[in-house]
Amino acid sequence: MKANKKNLLLEEFDEAPFSGIDVEDIEEALHHYIKQTRDEIAAITEQSQPPTFENTIEALEFSGQGLERVAQLFFNLNSAETTLEIQELAQKISPELSKLNNDITLNKALFERVSGVYEKQDALNLDTEQRRLLEMHYLSFTRNGANLSEKDQKKIRSIDQELAQLSLTFGEHVLAEMNDFELFIEAKERLNGLPDGVVRSARKKAQDKGKDGYLLTLDFPTYLPVMKYAEDRDIRKQMALAFSSRGFKDNENNNEAIVLRISKLRHQRAQLLGYEHHAEYVLERRMAHELSKVQKFLDELLDKAMPVAGEQLQEVAELALEKDGIQQLQKWDLHFYSEQLKKQRFSLDEQKVKAYFELNKVVHGMFSIANELYGLKFKENKKADRYHEEVIVYDVFDEGDQFQALFYLDLHPRSGKRDGAWMTLYKNQYIKEGKNERPHVSIVCNFTRPTDDEPSLLTFTEVTTLFHEFGHALHAMQANTVYPSLSGASVYWDFVELPSQLMENWCYEKAALHRFAQHYQTGEKLPDDELEKIRASANFLEGIQSIRQVSFAKLDLGWHAIDPSDIDDVKQHEASIFKPIQLLPDVKENCMSTAFSHIFQGGYSSGYYSYKWAEVLDADAFALFKQKGIFNAEVAKSFKENILEKGGTEDPMELYKKFRGAEPKLDALLERAGLVDMEDH
């Protein structure tokens, strides 16, 4: 530590003190709070009083809060503003945190106290949330080896520590591959077809490197437009090969051994705990519950989508042949000719439409919709500390002007930020000693940053991405539960996407769009005919998109719903899973598994199906809004009270039925996606 420097993380803090801390402070604080957590656990186990819900379950629930705050801050920075020092600390501290978690869930004395409360729960007069908390904590012990022999518990400890490090390394490799790739283009005409903003950005990136020409990188605001609009097929091919071979090249960032090791360790762990495989272990605590139910769901979708996808692919292939004589459509052609076909069929020019989606206006329109639905008000907080100058912070108030949440918005790509978009927390919501502690919520995205010539303009897909993450944020902001581990988005992973995917629906509604879809130069509202084109094209190539999502879910289960012990070739195994449902020729240089961060770095292992599963929920839920009115106060109030506020306090299907009155039906999704058989029309 630097002499005389106060470590703000060792003091009680509400807002994260980003600018007043460094990596040394974080490391010191993590070690301090690890020790404090151990002391708190010891106080529970060493007390002389018999176990009660209050002195054991609640005490356990509220232990380690100091550690959780600092760990949340640290791992969020590792995703959104990482450095080599942060990555080194992540590698160093993750095994220690894993060991602490094991020391808690494998603590025999603690488990005996938890079991004591669990076994007499019927006599305790617990409410629904308390019962849920008790069940969750009891299962966190049994599902992490509390009933195992000491020898097997040691194996669990070893596996968990190794998995924690492997997952971090996997993510570091993918980020390094993203940052390392550079494609310099000298002649501007080779960029024909690309939007002006992308060309200007490429020019600036080259200048920043001291070069004359244009620099293309793999960040999403560059990569996706290249795939959609670049007329130069060779550029599309080079970009596609680079993106789809992340973690698969013969270099220090290769993830093949890590994929094999993670899948085998997860299987070993599941078997030690008495499960057939990792998927069975995971699905026990999911809305779907059983592998057979997930597989049936995916196969039903596949059955409906495959014939439609085949026809749609044929249309794209015919256009490629007709326009450019391409005999065999490749992966780097699909986006490009799909976009051409969309423009031809709907006269929808995405680049023209972008002019109506200026980022700041979209954000404030989104706030306006949240205000109409849930009474929320967003006021910029210019004094709040932030981890990067581009982050915007808001205070969020409810309709009674009570503080509801602190909200961070981080919207543009940087070298220290991983790709994609996500919602996260810097502080959980909970109620303790009569005080409702409100959450600190963050959305992180990678949208094109403004230039000297124009503001940040979003594609319609980016608009829906922002609304999606905002739906997650609303789930966190509106949380109103007693216990932090049941709060907000702390729900089953196949339920967590309902609020986010539901929120996307407002992007297609005129009454919502007219709040923010205005031309950034003229102020003109998005013309009705353009809105109709967006709506008409919403299901464009939905068959192909559905097959894509199902194939990812199948790949996930292909690693986790089997015994992977004999797999020694990642690419070969992946190809065998994709082969029955692949629409385009395989590319030997490509491998998805080695950059499939959702399942090997994030929390979606055995859960990627959740995106399609939640589409059924959101289609069914929005059908009620459509029926009663998209801003219907009664429906919005019911969704807020039965879904958003309740978090994980009840079984998700029960919560959904309270909102909707019945279980969700697949029909709503099939109809919306245009995947219903002709005879069903």
- pLDDT tens sequence across 61-72: 999 999 999 999
Identify whether 154 is part of a domain.
Answer: no
Whether 330 and 373 share a structural domain: no
Q: What is the pLDDT of residue 338?
A: 95
User: Is the full-model pTM beyond 0.85?
Assistant: yes
What distance lies between CA 470 and its chain's CA centroid?
A: 12
What mean pLDDT do residues 9-34 have? 97
Whether 526 and 656 share a structural domain: yes
Whether 486 and 560 share a structural domain: no
Whether 548 and 576 share a structural domain: yes
Give the whole-number percent of the chain exceeding pLDDT 70.
99
Q: What is the pLDDT of residues 250-280, one digit of tens each?
A: 999 999 999 999 999 999 999 999 999 999 9
The DSSP element (H or E) to which 142 belongs, if any, is: helix 128-142
Domain residues for the domain of 437 are 359-536+611-680
Q: Is 322 a catalytic residue?
A: no
Question: How far apart, in whole angstroms, are the C-alpha atoms of residue 546 and residue 543?
Answer: 5
Whether 33 and 59 share a structural domain: yes
Q: Is the pLDDT of residue 676 over 80?
A: no
Among 608, 627, 652, the domain boundary falls at 608
- Dihedral sign, CA of 131, 132, 137, 141? positive
Whether 450 and 524 share a structural domain: yes
Whether 410 and 462 share a structural domain: yes
pLDDT band at 538 (very low <50, low <70, confident <90, very high): confident
Whether 48 and 111 share a structural domain: yes
Q: What is the pLDDT of residue 677?
A: 54
What mean pLDDT do residues 44-52 have? 96
Q: Is the pLDDT of residue 665 over 90?
A: no
Q: Could you say which of 469, 530, 615, 650 is catalytic? A: 469
Residue 642, domain CATH: 1.10.1370.40
Q: Is the pLDDT of residue 679 over 50?
A: no
What does DSSP assign to residue 192? T
Q: Which amino acid is at 439?
A: P
What mean pLDDT do residues 16-23 have? 96
Whether 432 and 295 share a structural domain: no
What mean pLDDT do residues 145-172 have? 95
Whether 624 and 547 share a structural domain: no
Identify whether 157 is part of a domain.
Answer: no
Identify whether 439 is part of a domain.
Answer: yes
pLDDT band at 305 (very low <50, low <70, confident <90, very high): very high
Q: Which amino acid is at 422?
A: W
Q: What is the pLDDT of residue 1?
A: 45
Average pLDDT of the chain? 94
Identify whether 353 is part of a domain.
Answer: no
Q: Is the pLDDT of residue 604 over 80?
A: yes
Among 608, 632, 656, the domain boundary falls at 608
Identify whether 282 is part of a domain.
Answer: yes
Identify whether 56 is part of a domain.
Answer: yes
Whether 396 and 490 share a structural domain: yes
What does DSSP assign to residue 418? -
Whether 280 and 313 share a structural domain: yes
Q: Is the pLDDT of residue 313 over 90?
A: yes
Q: What is the pLDDT of residue 256?
A: 98
- Residue 457 pairs in a beta bridge with 358
Question: How far apart, in whole angstroms, are the C-alpha atoms of residue 380 and residue 395?
Answer: 6
Among 587, 608, 629, the domain boundary falls at 608
Identify whether 1 is part of a domain.
Answer: no
- Give the CA diameter of the chain: 82
- Tally of domains within the chain: 4
- Dihedral sign, CA of 58, 59, 62, 64? negative
Distances (CA, A) of 616 to 322, 410, 424, 569, 612: 37, 30, 24, 35, 7
User: How many CB atoms within 10 Å of residue 653?
Assistant: 15
Identify whether 426 is part of a domain.
Answer: yes
Do the Cβ atoms of 120 and 54 come closer than 8 Å? no
